[in-house]
Amino acid sequence: FQQAKNEAGLDQYQARDWRAWYAHITLSMATHALLVVAKSLATQANPASRRTC
């Protein structure tokens, strides 16, 4: 959830209606899932990027 707040804009919305809030949350979480999958595929393609200092 914390990563979604930082990367997908989950914390930048003020709820005025439950439908709008639900749509925003759904799109933010879907975007976060897409970013996680893309990052996972990128690290599988380039094993050297997995190393940490």
Distance CA 51, CA 4 (A): 23
| Residues making up the chain, counted from first to last | 53
Q: What is the mean pLDDT of residues 1-27?
A: 75
Q: Looking at residue 28, what is its pLDDT? A: 83
pTM of the entire structure?
0.61
**If pLDDT is split at 50, 70 and 90, which confidence band does 48 have?**
low
Q: Is 10 left (phi over 0), alpha (psi -120 to 50) or beta?
A: alpha
Share of the chain above pLDDT 90, in %: 6
**Phi, psi torsion values for 13, nearest 5 degrees:** -140, 135
Distance CA 26, CA 19 (A): 10
Assign 10 to helix, strand or coil: coil
More confident residue, 45 or 51: 45
Q: Is the per-residue pLDDT at 30 higher than 70?
A: yes
